[in-house]
Each structure stands twice: as structure tokens, then as C-alpha cells.
Structure 1
Amino acid sequence: MPLKAGQFPAWLGFGVLLLSLLGGSGLYLWNPEPLQILRHAAFDQFQRLKPRPYSDTAVKIIDVDDESLKRLGQWPWPRTRLAELLTMLQAAEPASIAIDIIFAEKDRTSPRTMLEFWQLPADKAQWLANLPDHDQVLAEAVGHGNTALGFALSPNPSLGDVPAIKAQYALIGTSPLSYLLPFQGALSPLPALEAAAAGNGALTFISDADGVIRKVPLLLRYQNTLVPSLVAESLRLAQKTRNYTLHSLADDAGMAAIGIGRLQIPTTANGEIWIHYSQPDSRRYIPAWRILAGEIDSRRLRNNILLIGTSAQGLMDLRFSPLGGIIPGIEVHAQALEQILGGKHLSRPGWANALELLAILLGGLLIGAVALGNGAIFSFVGFILALLLLWGCAWWAYAYHQFLLDPVLPSIIWLMTFLFTSIFRHIYSERSQRWVKQAFSRYISPNLVEYLISHPEQLELGGRRQTCSFVFTDLVDFTALMERLDPGQAVSLLNTYLENMIAIAFSHHGTLDRIVGDAVAIMFSAPIQQTDHQRRAVQCALDMQRFASRYAAELNAQGLAFGQTRIGVHSGEVIVGNFGGKTIFDYRALGDVVNTASRLEGANKYLGTLICASEATLAGCPEIASRRIGHLRVKGKSIPLTVYELLDETNLNPAALTAYQTAHELMCATDPGAIGAFQHLVDDHPSDKLAAFHLKRLLDGESGDLIELSQK
């Protein structure tokens, strides 16, 4: 029965990706309440990280705070006191005054109201009845200034007070009535007060599902009537206009903006504005008791919009803020007015949904394609980078343009896509691994096959101790080159390189221990013992380096950045033999010597050398040209090795070698003159990286020739 690979069909993987994106897009369009809460939580976090800076935009809160109640008596105050407060504020010539209090019932402290509870003689009752009515006193005060009162809207139609509308509307486009927040009932001020007021606006807040106030309506719908909010009315009176100009969206899909005098305020389709909150600031509050006590300079109030309300804890006019705390309801009005007058509007633009859906589809396609075609780590890193880019863009849009773009739902859908495609690939990867295991169970390792066929008597099952020499090579930066080249070209270059390197090893009768990517490990004196294995290893390393340098130069001349080859050489006792058991065996060497040879190859990177050989290897061929590097202690070793750099005799510079040896002897003797000697050597031979390495060590305060390598 033929074996079949486990690679999944492309159409099937694309089908999984497409289904996950369709499901995610449906979730986005459905927009269930839990996802809205998550989206709003992200917007809140943006505001907490960068709230709107407070600036004095001529909006002040006249605060009936706890101290005012303590000084002037419990709430509700007599309407005459409120009239006194209002009169003093009007004298300061503010732009407008808005009262965040609903005067829906008569003042219980009014003299005529008291007659209903007190049993008095007729003359005294008549005297009391002739006293001024508190509500009338307040109505007269309201009528003397540019003052707006407030009413409450309710979905309950049983509240049937029709609020008096003081403004007129000019429509540009179709009426946005059907898109405004609908209400059926209203609780209005007393008729006398309502008639005296210059403006009348709704005090209604609409919190989101989590109870947080993020938007304030400028316009609402009471039954089939347009009604303004208190924020809109305070602006209208301050702008000294009677009209609101309502701008509809081009496709008649609700409101786009509202014009109030010189102000053009962008809104949502429902006639709301997003509030860009600033941190609580005492500068926007003036306690009411200080006004009544005459302690406030009237110049602080001139041309300001004044909001009369309360922050007293016991009066329960408190709201949840996106910044994480509880603020008075009057401050919500104030923050909305500050934002409008400051001219910087936090908004969720009409194109946000289309952009987010496009990000979901394009980003999901990219993430899914990467997950289907690459390994887990690469795919996960790509997914994380995509998330960072998404959230970075959302933050940039908020921080620099005051746009609210949702990074939460695209992140969730991308995660779903990543998980589905990754799980799908994992399932087929397991099938592929089972196929590879089944296929390669029919093969044995090809190492040493030719030798064993020619010399079967040399085959020894098990292992034995033997002194061997090892040559380890590695190609610098070949992985980066492969990523830039066509796969066929990259494989061709690597195959040519490996073929020649292995041919050189075989010419010196070395044994190929293994190939790992572009790295080659060669073993000498096994399986056949070679008395001159150290010389063979050294000559093999030099010949490999000559070829590698020549090959790299040829490719570099063609514009291909083919790197240098680094080589490590070491000798010592190891255990050599067949490992793997009865199922499959591989002939190789095990022991610390093998690891050390590999470490010496890696040490070249830090030393600036190309061939690093141990003293144990050079002891068998002392005539080989070399120069001493020093005592090298590699990572994981406590005893340092004496190591040398092998030199190619074909381009040896005797003068430079003599200068290096002199400088090295001074360094070993901890002579301060070693720095100058190495400095002259580097000046005369800038390409001598080993001399530069020692010079840097000495300049960094090190001495002697003990070199510590903390990395492999």
C-alpha cells in the first residue's frame, strides 16, 4: 500500500479560514451587548490613559455642595433662596444660566402652602396669604435673566406634562426625528416657572449597559416632537439665538451635526455627542454658599455659562464616569459644554464600522494564511504583531484625532481565526508526522555505508573509548540569505557549498558525522584509528577555509551576500559506536570533546577569528602556522582551554605575526605596554580582528589572556 503525505489540500484550509471570517463578520454585525461592553471598556481605558486636559472654557458649576447645605440648611431650600442666588448670578452678566433642578412641585415653605398645614386665626391667615409666593418670586428671578430650566423625560407615558419648547428648528435635509432617542412621558417645571424661562431643556441621561455615561444627547424625541437637552439650551442662550440648525446625513440615516449660533457640533446619528472626559478639577466648581455670601468676584462669572446643580452626596445626583469614578450629574453637563466650547470633539465617525469590518477581513485573511502555512511560533509571533499594530492604530486615532475605533472585536475575531486555522494545521501536521515516521522507518542511516561495505570487519557493535579529532563548521548569516533568495537558487548554492566541504573532508579521510542545515561535523580516527588524526583535522580545516573564502568571494562578486565560514577544531577521548538500538542505528561519537569542538566554532564569532583550534589538537602538529589566542573558558566549563588561531601559510605576514606575539606576551605578563602594542598592531593592520578583540579587552580593564565566554 503506497504511503501518502499528510499535507492538507489548499482548498480545505482556505475553507476553514473563510468560515471563521464569515462567522466573525456575522458576530460583528450582530454586535451583542457583551461585546458592546468590551468595546466601551477599551474606549474608557483610552480616556484613562489620556484624559482631556482641563482648560477654563467659561463654564462654571454653581454647586449646592455639602458645605452649602451645612451652612444654609437642608435641601430643598426655599425658592426665595434660589431666587436670591439666581439674582446675584444674573448681576454678574453671565452668558447663560442653566438650572439642573426640576421644579415640578410647589415650594412647601411658601406661605400659602403653609396655610394648608397650620390652623391660624383669620387675620393672621390673611396676613400670611398676602406674603409673596416663593414660586412666584423664583419665576420673576428666572424671567429677569438668560436662564434655562430643565425637565425629565421618561419612557412611561403616564407622565403627561408636555414640556414647553422655547426654540425653533431649521432642517437641512430630512427630519432626524425617527433616529432620536424616544420618550413618551415628561415631568416639567411648574407652569409659571416654565413660562418665565428663556430656555427649557431635557435633563435626561442615557447610560450604557454597564451604567456608565459616555454620551450626552443634544436633541431627543418626546412623542413626535423634537426637544433639546439642557446642554443644548444653555449653549443656545449663550449664543443669543432662537434656532437650532439640524444637519442630516446624506443618506437620510439620522443626524450629522447641529448648529447653534456660530457653533457646529458633530453628533451621532441619534443626536448625541461622545464626552471626552477630563479629570475632576475643583476649578470648575464654585460653592453656592460663597455666591450668597458675596465672596466671589463677579468678573469670574461674566460671559460664563453657569450651571446650578448639586454634588452633595445625600441628594444622589451621581453618575459613573469612564475614568473609573463617580461624578455629579451636573459635571456631566459641564464636561460636555467644555468639550463643545473647546472645539475638540470625541467622536466615533460614520466610516468606523466599515473600516473595522475591513480590518477584520484583511487582517483575518493574513493571520489565517500565515497560520496555515507556517509553524506555531512564527504564526503566533505574527498574530501578536498584528494585534500590536491594531491596538497601536486605534490608540493613534484616539490620541491624535479624537476618533473612537474599536480594537476589541477585531482582536477577538482574529483570535478565533488564528485558533481555528492553527488547530486545523496542527491536525494535518500530526498526520504528516505520522507519515514521515512510517516512511523513514523503511530506511537506515546512510552514514558510513560505503566504508562498512568495503571494510565490514571494522564494524563494532556497541561503543568504545577512542581518541579522535573533530572539525565543526558553520556558515555565517546563511539563513538571512535564504530568506532573500529564490528557494531553488538558495538550495543550489548550499548544495554546492556542502558538496565541496564534504569532498575536502573525504580527501583527508575524515568521516561525516552529521550535517545540520549549513553546518558540517567531521570526525577523524573513527571508525578506523588514525595516528595522525590531529594533523588531518588541521589540514582539513585549512583546506575548508580556503575553499569557503574563495566560494564566498565569487558569490559576493555576483552580488550575493554569502557569508564566511567559521571552524572549530578539538581533540580528545570520546565514546564512538553505534547508537539507536535494534530498530535503527547511527554511528557517531559522544562525549565532552564533541561539545567543546562545537563551542570553539561558536567562539570565533566573539574572537574575530575564522578557525579556532585547541592546544590538544595542535600538539600533534606543532609545525602548523598559528598564533595563540589565550586561555578560553567557554560557557558551562570550569577549566579553560588553551586555544590558537590557525593561519594560512599562503598569505602569512611574518612581521604582523611577530608583532602580535610580542603584544600577546606583554598581555600575559600584565605589562601596561600591551595596550600600546596592540594599538599599533590594529593601526597597522585594521583587518586583524583578533588583535582588535584583545585591545578592547585591555581597554575595558581586563588583563592577562583568560577569556570568559558567557554565551555559546
Structure 2
Amino acid sequence: MNDKALKLLHVILPVLVGLIGLFLLLTEPSSLYRLRNNLFDQYQRSSPRVYEAAPVRIIDIDEASLERFGQWPWPRSRLAQIVDALQAAGAAAIGFDVVFAESDRTSPLPMADLWQVDALMRERLRALPDHDQTFAQSLARAPTVLGFALERTHRSGQLALETPENQLIRPYRYINSGASPAPWLSRFEFAVAALPLLQRAAHGNGALSFLPDNDGIVRRVPLALNLSGEPVSTLAAELLRVGQNTRNIYFRTDEHAGISEIRIGDLTIPTDAHGEFWVHYTQPVPARYIPAWKVLTGDAPAEELSGALTLIGTSAQGLLDLRFSALGRIIPGVEIHAQALEQILTGHFLVRPSWALGLEAVILLAAVALVSLLALRCRALLAASASALILAGILGGGWLAFRTYGLLFNTVTPALSVVLAFIAGSLIHAFVSEREQRWLKTAFARYVSPNRVTYLINHRESMALGGSKRECSFVFTDLEGFTGLMENTEPTVAVQFLNGYLDEMIAIAFRYEGTLDRIVGDAVAIMFSAPLPQADHRHRALACAMEMDDFACRYEKHLRAKGIAWGKTRIGIHTGDVVVGNFGGKTMFDYRALGDPVSTASRLEGANKYLGTNLCLSAAALPNSGKDSSHAAPICDIRPIGRLLLKGKTQSLQVYEPIAAFRATGYAPLADYCAAYALMVDSATDEATDSDRGTADNMTPYPASTTALAHEPQETHASHEASHDSPALQAFRQLAERFPDDPLVALHFNRLQHGACGALIVLDAK
């Protein structure tokens, strides 16, 4: 992904997340709808409504009342007694949370049919008061409200309302300010109403139906519903109307925004677009309940009933009028009506204003834009902290609005949008950062070894000045005759060849996880076992040197075929204890190894030009020696060169030549060479004889192949002339005649001819 695409993504991301959040806010899928309602429930559980004394009481047909006066249903004559008692106590309105859809079967005539009495007894029973008539008379004398049930679909046993006019008595009148409210009200098609006799007697007739959410919790109470296209009042609205002795109910409706408020008498109730308002529940308050048996026995306190809106319902579990509240409790359905009335009378409303959606959209878009910008441009900790503060501000603002002003704002969708913006922005930021890190790592690796870069990333503490002692292996290379090549070749051409050469040499080192110590012109220094320790560093160093030698020889051959006088590459390999670390100052420092093994490896590289070899390997760098734990099979044949006494040194160093496979055809067989070398060591007369013998004894484990066979020396004229020569000289003379291109055979034959003995080679130059 190029920079232009990334810049475009910085613009697209907040726009895309904002549009997604806005779409979810406007459409509000069921899952988000549930989350929003659950958040509102948590608000209520954290801060339930504080109960204020209000003239609302529940006449509870509870378990104790059923025990005293028998099971339900009670005779309607007994309900008439309750109505009369409440009227006498001065109740402002009496509502029944019960549907009286059928005649009272305990009336005299139905009982006569049940008992199958004779005609005389039937006439006597007919003369007795009918319970429904008695109840209707009580309903007519008192300010009473009956209830009816609404259903969306018809069920067996229900009364299908062909037209609302001939089935349901409406003692109220709706007055609209604006468009008709009916399309905005929840629609029902069927109803079960009270007996016409009772409807005509009562002063009010209200729907009992609640509209719980999908989780069964009743959060809102409607004040009006739609029955077959016409508005009908609910029990709570009818109690308010009858209690104020008014007939009219006013709607304020907007054609596009729906219902905004409903006015009943002197009371104005803010509602949502569907004519519902949110119930703010209290914790259980025993004071709002009066047992029905106390009303029947005259024990109910008159002062609590005077001027009160009374609801007759049941809390008995067997009557199954139980509902779930937002506080997580199961409460009687009649209490929901009572709590709704309490809120209206005390002016305590939970309001989700019509402008709430617009404000939520603005907050969502602003928060998403800000969080996206932070996530894309700032460090992770700063972006996360700022996003958390924004998230807390949104959620805390919603809670504060509820707690202080009773306002309900949907903070769920904006909060989720903020989280989505942060995650998306962080992922893109991480992708860009990782891309930049990869670029920096790649670029840095062109100046510093990749393994060193990786080590620095994973071990930041290693950036401190200082070093530690460690055993490392070193490979030094140098290009023969490059200075002359620069003098006789166009510099740009020579540099091009050099870059191709160095590129592959360094790539080989990196394949073996070597660390580039330095490049000095055409020379390369590689170290192993730093910065990370490598148990098999000797094996790695030798394998790396062998592959470098193979490439260098092929590269030299390739360029010479083009007429370029490219020199051969000399390589030195040595192992020893050094101090590895960062050296320099606070402004700038260099990671390298310090110690005699470093200069020794460089000197071994230079020794190749005197020995005639390409590779010079010290005994300390032999694989599977010292602390090397690789135990890998030898990668090539290795033969002893001798003991070198480097200039400026007082101790000689046993060195070897690794034999590349492509050189084996021009070299003496390993067994023949080792046999001649052993004779040379045995013939030593200098003071280092014991060391030479030790070297001869220890050289045999290193051949990688056992196929090299000793050859019987052939009798020649030269050998007869040199019959007085030492056995070592004779052996090397024979090898020199057979293998004139073997550099070590030529070296030792020349040394022995000039009177040298033993394997000690003193170098007077570097």
C-alpha cells in the first residue's frame, strides 16, 4: 500500500465508521435496542425513583383477602361493597384492573340453573337482586373505571369487535392538535370488553394492555392505543380523566414526529411518538397497598383513600397478573399502573426528547472523528487514554443526564462506534507502524546486520554503553590486487563490480546469521556468537568461509573471462575470547568486538598470500573443538598447514587449510599429504619439536572424507639423486612432482629444500 492510499485511508476510516454508527443509530437493530434498554435498566437500578407520597392506592386482592373471603372470582355484590366503601371514603376515582366480560355465575338465576330447582324456588330467586345489577348500580354511583383487554390477533372465546362503536363504550372524547394520533399508536384488532350493562354504568373504560419489550420487561406505559384504526384510552388515562371529572383528552401530534404530549384535565404528560411514557420504578413500598379485606371490614384508613386514585387488582400469585420491572423484580401488573399514576401526579417523568436522536448523531460523528484521528496519528497509550476519556464522557454524560434531569439518551451506539473507530484506527496505525518498522528495519539492516537489528528491537537494554566477555569466531576476507584494479579501471565500473562482490559476500554471512563487524574498502569482517550467543559458532564460521570462497572463486573466474583482472579472495578464520559490546560515547557508539582474536583473524587472512592458500583456519576455530557444542559432521577436509609465528607474536599458532571440493583434484590426497606432514614434524630438531609432534598427533581427526588413499612413492631419477635427503623432503618432492598446483606441497617442499625442518613457519611481515 503506497503513501497516497494510506492518506486516503486516513480520510475514509472516520467517514466509514461514522456512517456505520449513524446507520446503526437510525435503524437500531434488535441487538442494539436490547443493549440500550439494558443500559436504561442499569440507570434505574443504580438510581431508582424515590417514592413520594401521592394520592394513589392499590386495593389489593391478596392472599390474605382470598383466605378471608374465599377464592376468586368473588361475587360482584362483594365488589359492589368495595366500590361503595371507597366512595364513602372519598376516593377520587376507582379503577378495576379486571375484565368483567361474562355475567356473574354466582347470581341467583345462574345458581338456580346450576342447582336445578323447582319453579317456585326459581321465582323466589328471580326476586333477589342480580349481582351484575347490584355491581352496575354501585359503578353508576361512584367515579369508576372499568378495563378491557386488547389483542393483535383473535383467539377463541374473544369478542371480535366489528366496529368499535357498537362494541366498546367510549365515555371520553379525543381532541387533536395537529395530525391524527391514531397512526402513531400501537395497533390492535380485537378486544374483550366488560358487559354492556357494566360499561354503561361506569364513568370510564380503559385498556389494560401493556406493551412489554421482547425480554418481557415493561418499561413504558401507553396512555392511548389504536383499536381498529381509532384511539382508545388506557386505564391510567381514564383514572386521571375521571378523577378530574373531565371528558376531553388532548393530543399534540406532528405528522412526521408523532405524539409529543397528552393533556388530561390540568395534567400534561410528555410522551414518546407513540403516546407512551417511561416508568421510573421505585423499590417496594408497602404504603401504596391496602388489602381488600380491610376495605370490606371497614378497617382501611379513610385518610389514605380520600381524594385518591384507587386501583383494584391482585398480587396473589395464583391469579397470574405478574410482570417484570426494569429493576429486575416481578411485580403485580396493577402496581405498574399505580407507579405510572404516581409519576404523573408528582410530575416525575423520564423523557427521551424528540431532539435526542439528533444530539446522539452529532456526538457520535464528532467522537468517531476525534477517536479515529487519535488512533491513526498518536501513540497507542495516548490514543487509548484519550479514547477511554471520550468513552467515559459519553457514558458518564448519559448517566448524568438521567440522574439529574430524567433524560434518556442512547449512549450505547455512540460508545460502540467509538470502540469501533479506535479498533479500526489502531489496526491501521499498527499496520502503518509495522510497515514503517519493516522499512526502517530493512533500511537499518543495510547499515547494520539484520540479526543485530532484531536483537536491538527485542533487547532495548543492549543499547547501553559497555561490553561483556564472550567467545566468538571471526571471518576476515580481503581482495587481492584491488588497488591496482582501481588504478587501471574506470572507477564507476570497478565500484559496480565491487558492489556485486560485497553484496553476495555479506548475503552469505547473513545466511549463517553472522554479524557484519565492518567493511573496509574491499575487506569484510564477520563475527559469530554476537550479539546472540551461538553454540555452534565455529561450525557457522567455517561453513560461511567455505561458501564465500566458493563464490569468490566463481566471481573471479567470471570477471577474468570478461578481461577484468579481478584478484582472488583471501580468508582468515579464528576463535577466541573477546569483549563484545557498544563502544564510543553518549552521542554515538559502535557495536564491535575488542581483543587479540580479532587482529589474529585479520593476520591469518594476510598470511594466505605467503602460504599460497585462500583460507587459513586456526586450531581454536576448528569445528567440534573447545566449547563448540554443534557436533555437526565436518563440512570439508581440513589439513594442517603448520605452526605460524605471526609478526610481533611470541607464541606460535597451529593453522589449517579447509579444502574446497572444487580444489581437491589439484591437491595431493589428504592421506599422502598428512603422511608427508608427519615426517616433516618428526624430523624437527628445533626447540618446538614437542609441539610439532603434538600437532601431528592431533591432525588426523579432521579429514571429512576417508576415501583419500596413501600412494606408494614411485622410484625416479630425482629420488636417486636425493637419496641422502630427509624422508620428509623426499616425500614432499614426490608430492610436488605429482601435484605441482598444490600450494602447501610447494610451500613445504621449498622450505625443506632450503634447510627448514619441522612445522614452524615464521612470518616476518603482516
**TM-score strictly above 0.5:** yes
- Residue aligning to 1:163: 168
Q: Residue by residue, what CA displacement relative to the aligned partner does 1:87-137 show, whole Å, maximum 9, x if unpaired?
A: 111101111111111000111111111122222122112112221111111
Name the SS for the 2:116 alignment partner: coil
Shift of the 19–137 alpha-carbon distance from structure 1 to 2, 3 Å rule, reads: same
Name the SS for the 2:252 alignment partner: strand
One-letter identity of the residue aligned with 2:581: F
Does residue 85 of the first structure (1) align with residue 82 of the second (2)? yes
- Residue aligning to 1:413: 417
Does residue 359 of the first structure (1) align with residue 363 of the second (2)? yes
Shift of the 587–239 alpha-carbon distance from structure 1 to 2, 3 Å rule, reads: farther
Q: CA deviation at 1:155?
A: 1.0
- Residue aligning to 2:202: 197
One-letter identity of the residue aligned with 1:218: L
Shift of the 71–340 alpha-carbon distance from structure 1 to 2, 3 Å rule, reads: same
- Partners of 1:252 and 1:8 lie apart in 2 by 43
Q: CA deviation at 1:20?
A: 2.1
One-letter identity of the residue aligned with 2:218: I
In terms of Rg, which structure is larger? 2
One-letter identity of the residue aligned with 1:363: A
Q: CA deviation at 1:417?
A: 1.4
Match of 1:242 among 225, 242, 247: 247
Q: CA deviation at 1:464?
A: 6.2
Shift of the 308–5 alpha-carbon distance from structure 1 to 2, 3 Å rule, reads: closer
Name the SS for the 2:410 alignment partner: coil
- Partners of 1:111 and 1:444 lie apart in 2 by 109
- Residue aligning to 1:64: 61
Q: CA deviation at 1:418?
A: 1.2
One-letter identity of the residue aligned with 2:94: I
Q: CA deviation at 1:442?
A: 2.6
- Residue aligning to 2:580: 578
- Residue aligning to 2:297: 293
Shift of the 100–463 alpha-carbon distance from structure 1 to 2, 3 Å rule, reads: closer
Shift of the 347–576 alpha-carbon distance from structure 1 to 2, 3 Å rule, reads: farther
Q: CA deviation at 1:206?
A: 0.5
- Partners of 1:69 and 1:440 lie apart in 2 by 89
- Partners of 1:94 and 1:198 lie apart in 2 by 14
Does residue 179 of the first structure (1) align with residue 184 of the second (2)? yes
Match of 2:95 among 95, 98, 110: 98
The answer to whether the 8 A contact 1:155-1:182 is kept is yes
- Residue aligning to 2:123: 126
Q: CA deviation at 1:438?
A: 1.2
Shift of the 77–17 alpha-carbon distance from structure 1 to 2, 3 Å rule, reads: same
Match of 2:353 among 349, 352, 362: 349
Q: CA deviation at 1:297?
A: 2.5
- Residue aligning to 2:40: 43
The answer to whether the 8 A contact 2:206-2:232 is kept is yes
Does residue 140 of the first structure (1) align with residue 144 of the second (2)? no
One-letter identity of the residue aligned with 2:118: P
- Partners of 1:204 and 1:463 lie apart in 2 by 84
- Partners of 1:418 and 1:7 lie apart in 2 by 22
The answer to whether the 8 A contact 1:578-1:585 is kept is no
- Residue aligning to 2:438: 434
- Partners of 1:96 and 1:342 lie apart in 2 by 17
- Partners of 2:14 and 2:205 lie apart in 1 by 56
TM-score by length of 2: 0.58
One-letter identity of the residue aligned with 1:205: F
- Partners of 1:375 and 1:287 lie apart in 2 by 66
One-letter identity of the residue aligned with 1:132: P
One-letter identity of the residue aligned with 2:13: V
Q: Alignment RMSD, CA only?
A: 2.4
Match of 1:382 among 382, 386, 398: 386
Name the SS for the 1:194 alignment partner: helix
One-letter identity of the residue aligned with 1:160: A
Q: Residue by residue, what CA displacement relative to the aligned partner does 1:14-52 show, whole Å, maximum 9, x if unpaired?
A: 212322222222222221111111000000000010111
Q: CA deviation at 1:431?
A: 1.1
- Partners of 2:271 and 2:283 lie apart in 1 by 23
- Residue aligning to 1:153: 150
- Partners of 1:578 and 1:391 lie apart in 2 by 55
The answer to whether the 8 A contact 1:44-1:322 is kept is yes
Q: Residue by residue, what CA displacement relative to the aligned partner does 1:550-575 show, whole Å, maximum 9, x if unpaired?
A: xxxxxxxxxxxxxxxxxxxxxxxxx9
One-letter identity of the residue aligned with 1:436: L
- Residue aligning to 2:269: 265
Name the SS for the 1:9 alignment partner: helix
Shift of the 131–5 alpha-carbon distance from structure 1 to 2, 3 Å rule, reads: closer
Contiguous gaps of at least 5 residues in structure 1: 446-460, 466-574, 590-712
Name the SS for the 1:116 alignment partner: helix
One-letter identity of the residue aligned with 1:381: S
Shift of the 443–72 alpha-carbon distance from structure 1 to 2, 3 Å rule, reads: same
One-letter identity of the residue aligned with 1:24: G
Name the SS for the 1:246 alignment partner: strand
Match of 1:216 among 213, 221, 235: 221
- Residue aligning to 1:669: none
Contiguous gaps of at least 5 residues in structure 2: 162-166, 450-465, 471-576, 584-588, 595-766
Q: CA deviation at 1:73?
A: 0.6
- Residue aligning to 2:373: 369
Query: How many residue pairs are counted as aligned between the two chains?
Result: 459
The answer to whether the 8 A contact 1:148-1:234 is kept is yes
Name the SS for the 2:365 alignment partner: helix
Shift of the 588–315 alpha-carbon distance from structure 1 to 2, 3 Å rule, reads: farther
Q: Residue by residue, what CA displacement relative to the aligned partner does 1:191-244 show, whole Å, maximum 9, x if unpaired?
A: 110100000010010001111000111011111221100000000011111111
- Partners of 1:341 and 1:309 lie apart in 2 by 20
- Partners of 1:130 and 1:258 lie apart in 2 by 47
- Partners of 2:153 and 2:351 lie apart in 1 by 31
- Partners of 1:149 and 1:53 lie apart in 2 by 30
Percent identity over the alignment is 44
Match of 2:313 among 309, 333, 343: 309
One-letter identity of the residue aligned with 2:326: P
- Residue aligning to 1:539: none
Shift of the 378–7 alpha-carbon distance from structure 1 to 2, 3 Å rule, reads: farther
Q: Residue by residue, what CA displacement relative to the aligned partner does 1:375-432 show, whole Å, maximum 9, x if unpaired?
A: 2222111111111101110011101110000111111121111111111111121111
